[in-house]
Chains A and B, each alone.
Chain A
């Protein structure tokens, strides 16, 4: 069993729709939860990070962490064609020095104009 599970998609939604992306994990030691966006032929870029449980909002993006269920989500409101990319969830037991980041396999998202 992988430490982090993520539905690979692909997920295709019309422009303006609300998108929900999810990951589950098995390691209770994870404390930092991140979402990265990766465009084709590019490196991942950090969208949001959350420490422990709770919600965090940044513009059209909302990240949720439920540690009791070992479940994290990313919501994208008013989705745009420019949001089309692969979204990677990522987690770390500590996010300082040698903390390795464990990534999900990524969900490919396509926003139809």
Chain B
């Protein structure tokens, strides 16, 4: 079974630029959630995708957007980068199956630095 993978591992951008981060979900999972983890903080929920549709969003501006593809992989796009966007971006996959509990499996993250 292949776990959640993310690319790239590290990324350095400058203010105002745009960035795309990628996530491959675990085999058999149909849901992807994205989180932002600033240094010394816990992850903060950005949004979730289920069957290629946004299925919930946290308190992040519209310049944070995403996509999910038919194979359930996902992209996180951030436009007009700001210094405060520097963080570890985590992707988590899960499988919605009607059960009350669905464990989210996290990838290793992409470390984004905005200069």
Contact between B43 and A95, CB atoms less than 8 A apart: no
Q: Is the Cβ of B100 less than 8 Å from the Cβ of A95?
A: yes
CB closest residue in chain A, given B38: A105
Asked if A103 is at the interface (CB within 8 A of a chain B CB), the reply is yes
- Output the least CB separation between B61 and chain A (Å): 16
- B contacts with A: majority SS: loop
Cβ-neighbour of A97 out of B41, B96, B105 (below 8 A) = B96
Contact A104 B102 (CB under 8 A): no
A43-B109, A100-B58 known; A95-B102 Cβ under 8 A: yes
A44 to chain B, nearest CB (A): 5
Kindly report which residue of chain A lies nearest to residue B54, judged by CB atoms: A98
What residues of A have a CB within 8 angstroms of the CB of B45 in the complex? 100-102
CB–CB B56/A106 < 8 A: no
Number of A-B contacts (CB under 8 A): 69
Q: Could you tell me if B101 and A105 are in contact, using CB atoms closer than 8 angstroms? A: no
Interface residues of A in 21-55 (CB under 8 A from B): 32, 41-46, 49, 51
B side interface size, CB within 8 A: 29
What's the nearest-Cβ distance from chain A to residue B103, in Å?
6
Q: Mark A76-113, 1 if CB is under 8 A from B, else 0.
A: 00000000000010100011111111111110000000
Q: Show the binding face of A for B, using Cβ within 8 Å.
A: 4, 6, 8, 32, 41-46, 49, 51, 88, 90, 94-106
What would be 17 A-B contacts, judged by CB atoms less than 8 Å apart?
Answer: A4-B42, A42-B109, A43-B4, A46-B103, A94-B100, A95-B101, A96-B96, A96-B98, A96-B101, A97-B55, A97-B56, A98-B50, A99-B56, A101-B45, A103-B42, A103-B43, A106-B42
Additional A-B contacts beyond A43-B107, A44-B106 (7; CB < 8 A): A32-B101, A43-B109, A51-B101, A88-B43, A96-B101, A103-B44, A106-B41
